[in-house]
Amino acid sequence: MCGWTVHRIGDAFPDDGQDVPDEEWITYGLDRSWVPLSKDGRIKTRDLEIRPVREREAVLFYLDNQQLRSSEMVDRLVMSRDAIHQAVAKGGPAAYAVRHGRIECTWP
């Protein structure tokens, strides 16, 4: 996607990761220097799930609307590409909502 390497959870875990706790796939990705992207913004409010981000001083992104079509999700990411790169370079720990045309730091 636009020069990004995208790792789908289903490529690493069976059944598209349906039985994998969020903290497990987040840890798995962060340990490989991947930047996690979720459709569930509540992750940042649950200690077990945000702990790997905090411990690794990493950055996590989430889409602020779970009802978006796939093409809309991609559009939001592409529109926010430069801001996403800047947030990753800045480091964390931090969680960012990917909104229409912008990102917003929502945690800590």
pLDDT tens per residue, range 29-66: 999 999 999 988 898 899 999 999 999 999 999 998 88
- Dihedral sign computed on CA atoms, order 36, 38, 44, 45: negative
Distance CA 82, CA 69 (A): 22
What's the pTM value of the predicted model, to 2 decimals?
Answer: 0.90
Could you tell me which of 86, 88, 91 has the C-alpha nearest to residue 54? 91
pLDDT tens per residue, range 9-21: 888 888 878 889 9
CB count within 10 Å of CB 84 equals 20
pLDDT tens per residue, range 61-97: 999 888 889 899 999 999 999 999 999 999 999 999 9
| The pLDDT value given to residue 1 | 54
